[in-house]
Amino acid sequence: MVMTEVLEKLKTLQDILAQKNKVETAINDAPKLLSTQEELLARLKKGYIEKNELYEKTRHNLTTLKMELFDAEGAREKAEKAMDTITTQREYEALDKEIREAGEREQTVRKEIQKEDRTFQELKEDLKREEALIAQQEEELNERKVKLSEEIEAMNKELNDLKEAEEAVSPGLNPETKFKLERIIKSKQGIGIVAIHGNVCTGCHMILPAQFANEVRVGDKIVYCPYCSRILFYLESADGEDVFFNEEDAGSLADLDDFMDDEEGDGEDADDDSDLDDDKMDYED
């Protein structure tokens, strides 16, 4: 297979692999889209449980206070009736004190009941609202899960189609070249093959040594950019004239080595390219 056909296959494969990576990422990230809504629903339910516990406690307090009020009213009424049967001043004073204390207790309990009842009614309304909100969130979450399941199914179908397209275009390509291209595409946001304009790589915009530019122009081997590791291909200039470079004008590999020594650690995508360094100077038929 001539090199022009190999490059065309690689360009086609690049588009397939880039889309395949996007679909695989979307499938892997899909469950995360539900996490925020699930966390919100979990917080709502937790808050509802806590508020419901307070609601039950308030209702119990109301029941207890109403019993105390009943006892206080009964004690006051009993003491008032006893007034009709007293015969001495001491009995009068004792009953009068009992009536006053029962009345004061009665008024205190009534105020506590009013306070607890307001809290009780507020909690009751809050629980109704939260019950409706939880039901709404659960319905929306279930609908979203169904929709997401359909989307994932569609993405899996697209992924299978892309894998078939990848298999169709792969015959005739060197497996090592294909493997390197896959790695480059993943680390370079889907762009693994770029043109050179003059002696500049359009992927990283670095000026290439003349040897690289001329070897890409000749087009009899796979050439990788020594800076960004992408596969290079020659793009004819606008006027249609072929351009060859003189090493004295455009630099050499020795110049590149000096540059890389000076700029170590500062080159484009230095971390991402660490596992591709061994590939930068490889050539393949």
CB-based contact 204:228 (threshold 8 Å): yes
Phi and psi, residue 267, nearest 5°: -70, 160
Domain boundary among the residues 150, 168, 186 is at 168
Domain boundary among the residues 137, 153, 168 is at 168
Burial 128-140 (b: 16+ CB within 10 A, else e): eebeeeeeebeee
Within-domain flag for 204: yes
234 sits in which H/E element: strand 231-234
Within-domain flag for 285: no
Query: pTM above the 0.75 mark?
Result: no
pLDDT > 90: percent of the chain: 49
Average pLDDT, the chain: 83
Are residues 147 and 210 located together in one domain of the fold?
A: no
Q: How high is the pLDDT of residue 129? A: 95
The average pLDDT across 113-134 equals: 95
Q: How high is the pLDDT of residue 238? A: 55
Are residues 190 and 274 located together in one domain of the fold?
A: yes
Containing structural domain, residue 258: 3-22+174-279
Within-domain flag for 36: yes
CB-based contact 44:133 (threshold 8 Å): yes
pLDDT, tens only, 157-187: 999 999 999 999 999 888 998 999 999 988 8
The tally of domains found in the chain comes to 2
One-letter amino acid at 132 equals A
* Two structure tokens written together for 232: 């290079």
The average pLDDT across 36-48 equals: 92
Domain boundary among the residues 145, 168, 191 is at 168
Beta bridge partners of 224: 231
Are residues 182 and 147 located together in one domain of the fold?
A: no
Are residues 262 and 196 located together in one domain of the fold?
A: yes
